[in-house]
Chains A and B, each alone.
Chain A
Amino acid sequence: MARALINVPKTAKRGDVIEIKTLISHIMETGYRIGVTGQPIPRDIIDDFVCLYNGEEIFRAQLYPAIAANPYISFFTVATASGTMSFTWTDQHGKSQVQIAEITVE
């Protein structure tokens, strides 16, 4: 679907609060703009973002057209165990993109 950037610390101490930064390239067309033909440009947005840490949901965001193009979201979590974090963006048509990051917790 698109290029996604994720910033998760590679290693962390158990119990540390870590910051996760995510960015995905997406036009986030609001549906309120008028195109050259005089017709409104149809809406095309990512409306759901979810982060799973070893399969458990730790963060979910509902996005609306008021989110800027190339949605950037950063949030926090407690480093509990080594494993994978998966990030899923889903657009309004139900198409989704998954990105995986590994973390080692000591």
Chain B
Amino acid sequence: MRQKLPITNRRSRRGVLKTAVVLAGAAGVLRLSLRPAAATPEMLVDAIRGVVGEVPVNKGKVKLDLPPLVENGNSVPCTVSVESPMTAANYVKAIHVFNEKNPQPYVIGVKLGPRAGRAAFSTRIRLADSQTVTAIAELSDGSFWSDQIDVIVTLAACIEETH
């Protein structure tokens, strides 16, 4: 049956096929662009610079607590605590948490004061992928301290579709 088709018709069929392929390709590109883009390391660096400016960030004093192996990235318990006497002269002003591979590098930013008594907080966060989570604390003397932790996520948040 195919061989009986006139040449012109065959050409147009090829044309149709080509168009279909091009359209499918375009649709693929569109789909890809709709996907949430993971934050790039540059975005993370920019986000951190937005908080700390040009001040060097020291390691230590901060303790970031996350389970090393996460089964469900939609709700991950996260605790940050900072060693500090929390007196009027020496206290933690703020704590920021950043991630590497979620669509946005920010997770949470909290403001504290000497009235907190203990520089710590807990929350539950979303993780889109296995990645490194960073916590940075700003002290009243203007210094910054940080802690990092690697987390393995088996079921990612954010990217699942609703049905």
Q: Are A62 and B110 in contact (CB under 8 A)?
A: yes
Main secondary structure of the interface of B (DSSP, over half): loop
Listed in ascending order, the chain B residues whose CB lies under 8 Å from chain A are 34, 36, 74-76, 99, 102-104, 106-113, 115-127, 157-163
Rank and list the top 6 A-B pairs by shortest CB-CB distance, nearest first.
A17-B117, A32-B36, A78-B117, A68-B124, A76-B118, A68-B75
Q: Are B75 and A69 in contact (CB under 8 A)?
A: yes
Main secondary structure of the interface of A (DSSP, over half): strand
Q: Are A41 and B109 in contact (CB under 8 A)?
A: no
Q: Are A59 and B116 in contact (CB under 8 A)?
A: yes
Interface residues in A, total, Cβ within 8 A: 35
Known contacts A33-B158, A66-B99, A66-B108; A76/B122 CB under 8 A: no
Q: Are A71 and B124 in contact (CB under 8 A)?
A: yes
Q: Are A40 and B34 in contact (CB under 8 A)?
A: yes
| CB-nearest residue of chain B to A28 | B126
- A2 within 8 A of partner (CB): no
How many angstroms between the C-alpha atoms of A60 and B109 in the bound complex? 8
Known contacts A33-B160, A62-B110, A68-B124; A77/B34 CB under 8 A: no
